[in-house]
Amino acid sequence: DVKVTQSSRYLVKRTGEKVFLECVQDMDHENMFWYRQDPGLGLRLIYFSYDVKMKEKGDIPEGYSVSREKKERFSLILESASTNQTSMYLCASSLSRGALVTEAFFGQGTRLTVV
């Protein structure tokens, strides 16, 4: 079974703090994604990565950065946390199969509260 593991299930941080969310997958997937999910807004893509050291902006990258130094690990960084970044953060990974887009598998999610 595919396993995607996020480092924290719940996190409380103060405004202005630098926050690191870590994600590790064990299936040698090329693609990794960070989403946030808010009530009524669905899943919104923050950043994604097709390969080590490669990253691309998603729909809402402002205030975030990412790092992918190893294939299995994809980190989301909140440079200076703000209260509007309080949300559920979901990491996902998927396999590359040429032009065919494959299913994504999600981690358990991190509920981040910024106070």
Partner 1 sequence: QKEVEQNSGPLSVPEGAIASLNCTYSDRGSQSFFWYRQYSGKSPELIMSIYSNGDKEDGRFTAQLNKASQYVSLLIRDSQPSDSATYLCAFPGGGNKLTFGTGTQLKVEL
Q: Does 71 bind partner 1 (CB under 8 A)?
A: no
Select from 12-20, 26-34, 66-74, 75-83 the region that touches partner 1 (CB under 8 A).
26-34
Q: Does 28 bind partner 1 (CB under 8 A)?
A: no
Q: How far apart are CA 15 and CA 115, in angstroms?
A: 6
AA letter at 102: T
CA distance to 2, 29, 49, per residue, from 69 (Å) = 20, 14, 11
Select from 14-22, 28-36, 69-77, 78-86 the region that touches partner 1 (CB under 8 A).
28-36
Select from 16-24, 42-50, 64-72, 74-82 the region that touches partner 1 (CB under 8 A).
42-50
| Residue/partner pairs of 50-58 with CB below 8 Å, 24 or more apart | 50/96, 58/33, 58/34
Q: Does 47 bind partner 1 (CB under 8 A)?
A: no
Residues that bind partner 1 (CB under 8 A): 30-31, 33, 40-43, 45, 48, 50, 56, 58, 90, 94, 96, 99-109, 111
